[in-house]
Chains A and B, each alone.
Chain A
């Protein structure tokens, strides 16, 4: 390959989902024999880019070039065939099969129609040697450590002739020693001319292993540094964050009153230490952090979805009577989960059913035996018009609505209740900007009416835009606390990045 031809080129990549533009004309190039960092906040478009590279998504427009030749991958199989490997955080291996079987899955050596075990083992041993891993090919994969499995995944990619290898936060669950091993292998791959794309949040790693870096923000390409030597960490962070906060957030100061939500020493899975905090009535408290920082786990503990190991939750001065969503809802503490499809909506039921699902228990007739069908109809209609849920009719299946309208219907479910505290986990994920600002306005109205609001988001501007106070979680702890005035994007992001990543 002539030296001026890049191993991997992204040319004007665009990817649109209904209502969302995940990538908006991203172009940059990765040199063979180099490690190229891909950086950006959650939602900046890194995952979408990796998925296009792996063939899982097809770009709306634009192209991927390998060694100068334009390639469109219609499937992951085609990308693998072309020599591209993407190593995700969640590895694509089968725990119940042996290491050798995993390494050569889909292309087992055969003899006369039967599996050739000897050839399988020999080839597997050769691939393991490539990554310097001393494991028997006959070990069941499930018995390996996470770091070892990652090596198997890399060996598998090399076995398929990968020339371009992309890593998605590969060190997130590795120890320091394991990380060193991984870096040694990455350097080895680099010296053999592979092009490596490396997605990470950790600044230390960027400077340790990467030669170049590209920053994405809101699906757009911000900057590509061909050499990191002259770039300071602060400059990199700034380019990840730096953007004007517009007034889509509609922030207005509101009066606060004491005794809203109080969390006392709550402990449970995903938290490294017990957590305590208070939210006043009329206050909006934002929780920021990277994916996996323990924010959703904390919210699930507070709202009774997961049983806490210790601690208690008080709503307007009264302790919750039990550990269940039901008890929380009855006390006026309601929860909009992060995964709307899996945990929010009942897709095969109507919009009206989904709205009335919870509040109907307080509107029964006939000695509490029967549903008040008149109330149900009225409430659904009222909520739909109040929140501007765009649906053909209340009896339309909710699964047919857009993400934004599904979210509004879930909010309508809770606004049908007597809400004192509302916990919103990623309330605007996958929602177009129009619906987003409507949801922000709604959050403000709720707070203005005296409700205590807790919002979890991975989108920094969103958290800064709507919150009165900001908590930052990192690795299962509340790492920092900011007032609205003190919460600058740089400070909050610094606090959220894993320890040792920024000095």
Chain B
């Protein structure tokens, strides 16, 4: 039995811990994972491996920024994986036909934004369930990708475009810089602009936000449009890395992105999102996959492991909110 004083002391300690856990829980988990891997996984801490790790999360990282907004406002977007593939294929085709990198990039970005805009109009203006809407557009856009490429990878002949995926600055590949830029831009949007706060208010209580003068429909459409734009951008970067637009790339990417956001404490019912935690969520996903590769764990087991990690993170979160 403990004396009253030690009880009080321990409760102060625990409240300090819970506060730290609340604000930086996933960052702590990330730090612990990183430390563990550094100590016990051979080659983990090599420059080449860390560069590869960062590169491997760049696509998920960029898209998780806008997915965070989508979830914060209480919606879903399942179409992002298809948009990534379609944007790569479309960009490659346009570049090959016109010989212009700028035209290819513009076409892909415009198409991605248009798909996002349509998703947004269906969800926000017409009131169709976001899951259904984007489940439909996921399949439609995937199909468009296959149609545009006749089901085959489209090799890009404009060599200047490859710089997008394969140059580096200060030893860090360009796609990683672009991902960091996305995190900064959307972090600022979330925390320092009326757009971010309104998105959170909509996710928290749509009706109250509407009555408080928040333009709910407009903001939701904008979020979906940004989501399409960023997914298309990520698709272009990916195609530059692969030097081709591939219609069957990024299958299931949408679920990985949503998993990363959930790991980062974004509430699926909306209203709660923190950019730092989303960065941690993305890195945890990439880090675990990377470590499993280094440990030669067969890919079939990796699926199982990823699912378990997601469940674990959600249980931690439940535990947190029940206190």
A contacts, CB < 8 Å to B: 303, 305, 324-326, 328-330, 335, 337, 342-349, 353, 357-358, 360-361, 364, 369-371, 373, 413
User: What are the nearest 10 A-B pairs in CB distance?
Assistant: A346-B204, A329-B213, A326-B213, A346-B205, A348-B271, A358-B212, A357-B212, A343-B207, A348-B204, A370-B192
What separation, in Å, do the CA atoms of A132 and B128 have in the docked complex? 44
B33 CB to closest chain A CB (Å) equals 29
Known A364-B194, A370-B193: A337·B211 in contact at CB below 8 Å: yes
> Which B residues lie within 8 Å of A360 (CB)?
194, 197
> Which B residues lie within 8 Å of A347 (CB)?
204-205
A281 CB to closest chain B CB (Å) equals 22
What separation, in Å, do the CA atoms of A325 and B211 have in the docked complex? 5
A310 CB to closest chain B CB (Å) equals 22
- Contact, CB under 8 Å: B272 / A346: no
By DSSP majority rule, is chain A's interface helix, strand, loop, or mixed?
Answer: mixed
Q: Which of B194, B211, B272 contacts A305 (CB 8 A)?
A: B211
Q: Nearest residue in A to B218 (C-beta to C-beta)?
A: A326
- Contact, CB under 8 Å: B194 / A346: no
- Contact, CB under 8 Å: A343 / B272: no
Q: A-B pairs with CB below 8 Å: how many?
A: 69
> Which A residues lie within 8 Å of B215 (CB)?
326
- Contact, CB under 8 Å: B213 / A348: no
A155 CB to closest chain B CB (Å) equals 37
- Contact, CB under 8 Å: A325 / B197: no
B contacts, CB < 8 Å to A: 192-194, 197, 200-201, 204-205, 207-215, 267, 271-272
- Contact, CB under 8 Å: B192 / A413: no
A489 CB to closest chain B CB (Å) equals 32
- Contact, CB under 8 Å: A325 / B194: no
- Contact, CB under 8 Å: A345 / B213: no
What separation, in Å, do the CA atoms of A370 and B211 have in the docked complex? 23
By DSSP majority rule, is chain B's interface helix, strand, loop, or mixed?
Answer: helix
What separation, in Å, do the CA atoms of A342 and B197 have in the docked complex? 19
What separation, in Å, do the CA atoms of A73 and B184 have in the docked complex? 58
Q: Nearest residue in A to B272 (C-beta to C-beta)?
A: A348
- Contact, CB under 8 Å: A357 / B201: yes
B68 CB to closest chain A CB (Å) equals 16
- Contact, CB under 8 Å: B213 / A325: yes
> Which A residues lie within 8 Å of B194 (CB)?
360-361, 364, 371
Q: Which of B193, B200, B212, B213 contacts A330 (CB 8 A)?
A: B213
What separation, in Å, do the CA atoms of A82 and B171 have in the docked complex? 78
A346 CB to closest chain B CB (Å) equals 4
Q: Nearest residue in B to A343 (C-beta to C-beta)?
A: B207
Q: Which of B194, B200, B213 has the most CB of A within 10 A?
A: B213
- Contact, CB under 8 Å: A371 / B207: no
> Which A residues lie within 8 Å of B267 (CB)?
348
> Which A residues lie within 8 Å of B197 (CB)?
353, 357, 360, 371
- Contact, CB under 8 Å: A345 / B208: yes
- Contact, CB under 8 Å: A349 / B200: yes
- Contact, CB under 8 Å: A371 / B192: yes
- Contact, CB under 8 Å: B211 / A346: no
8 sampled A-B residue pairs with Cβ under 8 A:
A329-B212, A335-B211, A344-B208, A346-B208, A347-B205, A358-B212, A361-B213, A369-B193
A329 CB to closest chain B CB (Å) equals 4
B214 CB to closest chain A CB (Å) equals 7
What separation, in Å, do the CA atoms of A325 and B208 have in the docked complex? 11
